[in-house]
Amino acid sequence: MQHQIELKQLVKYVAGNLTAAACSRNSFFVNDVAPGIIIHADREMLAETFDKLLAKAVEQTNNNCIRIEAVVFNQIVSLVINQTVQCNSAGLALSMEPLQTVAEKLGGSISVVSDHEQKTLVALSFFNGRRAA
C-alpha cells in the first residue's frame, strides 16, 4: 500500500537504527536529504530496502563519513549513499546483488559506482508516483 513519506524523516529513522553499527566501525552518518521531498511508496518496503542497503554499506566501511543524499529528476528519486573514504567497493557491489530483487519490487534498482578518488556511491533509484491498482 502506498503512503506519502517525507524522505528526510525516513532516512533519519533508518540511519538512527544503524548508528550503533556505524559507530562500532568508527563511522557516522550525515543526512543531507533536503526537507520536503515527498515519496509515494510502500513505507515498510522502502524502509526495509533502505535499511538493508545502508547496513551493507556500513559492513564494508571503517573510519568513514557516510553521507546520504537524495537526487530527484522528474518522477525518479535516487537515494544516494556517499562513502567519503575508500571502502571495499567490489565487496559492496557483490553484497548488494541480492537486494536488487527487493529494489525491483519498488520499481527501482541499485547501483554501485566508485570514482578515481576511491569514493563509493550506492544509489537506490525508484519511480516516485502513484500507481494504478
Please report where in the chains the cell 530483487 appears, as a residue. Answer: 101
Q: Over range 30-54, report the average pLDDT.
A: 91
* Whether the predicted pLDDT of 12 surpasses 80: yes
* Inter-residue contact 112 to 89 (CB < 8 Å): yes
CATH of 2-127, one of 3.40.30.110, 2.60.40.10, 3.30.565.10, 3.20.20.120: 3.30.565.10
Pairing of strands 65-73, 28-31: parallel
| pLDDT for residue 133 | 46
List the one residue out of 34, 30, 40 whose CA is nearest residue 76: 40
What are the residue boundaries of the structural domains of the chain, listed by start? 2-127
20 against 128, higher pLDDT: 20
d(CA 90, CA 33): 26
The CB density around residue 22, as the number of other CB atoms within 10 Å, is 20
| pLDDT for residue 130 | 60
* Whether the predicted pLDDT of 89 surpasses 70: no
